[in-house]
Amino acid sequence: MSKKVVCFGEIMLRLSPPGYLRFEQAHSFDVVYGGGEANVAVSLANYGVDACFVTKVPANPVGRAAINEMRRYGVDTRFMQEGGERLGIYFLEKGASQRPSKVVYDRKLSAISQAQKKDFDWQTIFSGADWFHFTGITPALGDNVAEAVREACTAAKAAGLTVSCDLNFRKNLWSGEKAGKVMATFMPHVDVCIANEEDAEKVFGIRAADSDITGGVLSHEGYKAVAGQLKERFGFQVVAITLRGSISASDNNWAAMLYKDGEYHVSRNYPVHIVDRVGGGDAFAAGLIYTFLNGYGDKDALEFAAAASCLKHSIEGDANHVTVDEVKTLMAGEASGRVRR
């Protein structure tokens, strides 16, 4: 019987100039739908997991297009509510070489930002579920949305679900000070904490020693200490941190670490040439959820998640459209990219 995972968050309309054009050069935009938790749901559906995405979208053709996009990839959309003002939009200009990517948000008064606790019947939503996933983006959308997240976390634990949270700090949505205060109230419900190389510092003030994020220098020992402090402060069962070594907008080193039961694991490092980096962390989170649900050992779970996320960097759009077999092939060392006939 397939495991069921519930993801709660915002789905947005992404508009990007074709290729590597700058905003000022664009005469058209490519359309993609995505968002942190939505991307996780799509990845899990690709892996054969019963993935359910919960959100609120406007009751208009654009909102229905977002629902249909999730259905297209096999995600359960029964609990995607309709109502509110509009679908949030973000504009993405893809960077290259030494020119960074640029994001412009247009999400004020989005449907999910106007959602209330009463919009979601968590007892019904969590019926038969095994896992609940959310990110730090969702409660940042407003105090009312944070209350909905809090109610979801409480209901998930009462129903016996495993709860995962990707800290996903967004400075354009709230300050580090507010993020730390609000996110700390959710952490007692969280079993699996996921972060990137700077989230723990931005949200909880826990900094990795001997690391220079902008310079691409990341200390494994420093991040082991970060994971240990997160575990000590909040009592997580698992702490996982992605480690992006930025060389340029086009090339990164990609790895991750995992801390559980007093043991640290660091994944293989992948030098990646980037097609689209958006959603890399979501692909990692989905890989962890999939492997833990299917009984992988800690080291294999980490390697699967890191390999899945590595592959995401080669795929246009927000979501990771790969199969379990493709991830396992990369895990096994077949990384040359040779044509498969």
Phi, psi torsion values for 275, nearest 5 degrees:
-90, -45
Q: Kindly name the residue from 199, 282, 298, 318 that is annotated as catalytic.
A: 282
Rounded distance between C-alpha atoms, residue 229 and residue 264, angstroms: 13
* CB-based contact 173:139 (threshold 8 Å): no
Token pair, residue 166, equals 């990707």
Confirm whether 282 is a catalytic residue: yes
Q: What does the alpha-carbon distance between residue 173 and residue 171 come to, in Å, rounded to a whole number?
A: 5
Q: Name the residue with tokens 């490519």.
A: 30
First to last CA, the chain: 33
Distance CA 188, CA 185 (A): 7
Task: List, in order, residues 6 or more apart from 171 with CB less than 8 Å away.
Answer: 202
Is 134:168 a contact under the CB 8 Å cutoff? no
β-strand 4-8 against 131-135: which pairing, if any?
parallel
* Phi, psi for residue 273 in degrees, rounded to 5: -100, 120
> DSSP per residue over 118-153, as a string?
GG--HHHHTTT--EEEEETTTGGG-HHHHHHHHHHH
C-alpha 60, offset from chain centre:
26
**Active site positions, annotated:** 282
